[in-house]
Amino acid sequence: MNTFLTLLIAVAVCVPLGWVFRAGMQSVTSNAQKWRDMPLSVAWGYVLGAGILAWLAYTYYLAVTAERTPVDTYFFFRNAVHGFVIFAVAAWAFRLLGRHVGTEGTKKLFRSMPVTASFGILVILLYAIVSIFAGAIAPFGQEEVLANANVVPGGNPAVGGDPAYPLGTDQIGRDILSRLIYGAQNTVGIAFVTTLLAFFIGGSLGFLAATLQGTLDQVISRGVDVLMAIPALIFALLLMTIATVWANELGVNRTYFMVVIIAVIDSTRVFRLARAVGLNIVVMDYIEAAKLRGEGLGYLIFKEILPNATAPLLAEFGLRFCFVFLTIASLSFLGVGIQPPLADWGTMVKDLAQFINFAAFAPQVASAPLLAAGAIALLTVAVNFVVDWMLHKSSGLKE
């Protein structure tokens, strides 16, 4: 309650400070228009923002100078600030690089790019590299059980770390860094394949429905309506119950079932978009011309409709990938997704989650589950930043 009261008072104090700030700026700039017309609420916002920045800077100063033993209270704050600054500088440098290196087209692209989008592209590239070369980067195998279990992250022998395992090992002695790196391959790879499958099913059915219309269109559309009336995660959980039994019965890895189930559930959303986009295209004159030429259905769909529908489908692909990726992570987190011992971030969060409760005594210990969850969040945030920028660019929204 005290914390809440202090916060409230601090926010209230910013109001007179804002008034003073505005009056000061008015007299300094001899009543320039910007300051003369500024409402008190905006001045308050500036002071509040400055106050928050000052508080962050002060806490960071404390975090850097504070003694780190025995319990490092500022561990998370310091690392969060470092991570934020490193990524911001890297994204900015990446954009600068893109503006001066490459073809005329890419240079132009980078010039119109906000920092958030260049951050997104940088992160996506990083993930792609890590997931492709996981085998070469990871120091240990993903299923390799090492001699030392429960090594604390940080590599400091004084508090139970080991320089050989920079992020420590889990309860049965698997290297967490290696599992994180292999997780990029498994989690991202499986999500990517699932999204491709969903687009293949939903896209071809959607274009087919748009081109042929009639009974087929009605049947598929009503079927999709029914499937969409059940929340996606709930439906996935229901089908995974059955798939797990089948997987045991047939001796197949249940991950294959999961890929198909999520692809089918997500293809309903793709179908909706592909059909809507397709319906707009089939009424065009060039489709009529192609039909009169006597072109077949395959030619119509792949040579006439698909090239004209790539832009909206590409943006949708980014968003769908995020949804699929998050659904798979959630299923794995709930314990019915990707089957162990494959390293996967959702399962890692579930297995390591209990360490969060030790954060008050040894903050390093709690970083392992957060790293796995953060790896998921970082990729989805990056993809969303890029898609946001693409949509903004293509819609031409200025305000």
Partner 1 sequence: MGSILRIIAQRLALGLLTLLIVSIVIFVSVNALPGDFAQAILGQGATPEAVEAFREDLGLNRPFLERYFTWLWDAVRLDFGTAFSQAQFAEFAGGAAGTGLGTVAEMLGPRFSNTMFLAGVTAVIAVPLSLMIGVLAALFRNSIFDRAANITTLTSISSPEFFLAYVLILLLAVMNPLLPSLSVINNDMSFSEALKVTLLPALTLTLVVTAHMMRMTRAAIINLLASPYIEMARLKGVSPMRVIVKHALPNALAPIINVIALNLAYLITGVVVIEVVFVYPGIGQLFVDAVKNRDIPVVQACCLIFAAAYILLNLTADIMSIISNPRLRHPK
| Residues of this chain that bind partner 1 (CB under 8 A) | 3, 42, 45, 49, 73, 76, 116, 225-227, 229-235, 237-242, 244-246, 249, 322, 326, 329-330, 333-336, 346, 349, 353, 356-357, 359-360, 363, 366, 369-370, 373-374, 376-377, 380-381, 383-385, 388, 399
Taking the least distance from each CB to partner 1, the nearer of 131 and 332 is 332
> Within a 10 A sphere around the Cβ of 372, how many other Cβ atoms?
28
Packing angle, helices 345-352 and 176-183, rounded to 10: 150
Contacts of 116 (CB under 8 A, 6+ apart): 91, 385, 388, 389
**Cα dist. 35→12, 43, 180, 371 in Å?**
21, 9, 51, 45
Taking the least distance from each CB to partner 1, the nearer of 72 and 295 is 72
Taking the least distance from each CB to partner 1, the nearer of 7 and 216 is 7
Taking the least distance from each CB to partner 1, the nearer of 199 and 385 is 385
Nearest to 260 by CA among 284, 289, 236: 236
Taking the least distance from each CB to partner 1, the nearer of 281 and 370 is 370
CA pair distance 320, 195, nearest whole angstrom? 7
Nearest to 290 by CA among 277, 276, 307, 273: 307
| Burial readout 118-129 (b: 16 or more C-beta within 10 A, e: otherwise) | bbbbbbbeebee
Shortest Cβ 203–partner 1 spacing (Å)? 23
Taking the least distance from each CB to partner 1, the nearer of 282 and 328 is 328
Give the total residue count for the chain. Answer: 399
Shortest Cβ 303–partner 1 spacing (Å)? 35
Taking the least distance from each CB to partner 1, the nearer of 326 and 390 is 326
Taking the least distance from each CB to partner 1, the nearer of 202 and 346 is 346
Give 213-221's long-range contacts (Cβ < 8 A, gap of 24+): 217/275, 220/271, 221/275
CA pair distance 240, 246, nearest whole angstrom? 9
Shortest Cβ 154–partner 1 spacing (Å)? 17
Shortest Cβ 330–partner 1 spacing (Å)? 5
- Residue 68, token pair as written in the block: 């780190």
Shortest Cβ 135–partner 1 spacing (Å)? 26
Shortest Cβ 290–partner 1 spacing (Å)? 36
First-to-last alpha carbon distance for the chain, in angstroms, is 41
Shortest Cβ 252–partner 1 spacing (Å)? 12
Shortest Cβ 360–partner 1 spacing (Å)? 5
C-beta of residue 286 within 8 angstroms of C-beta of residue 293: no
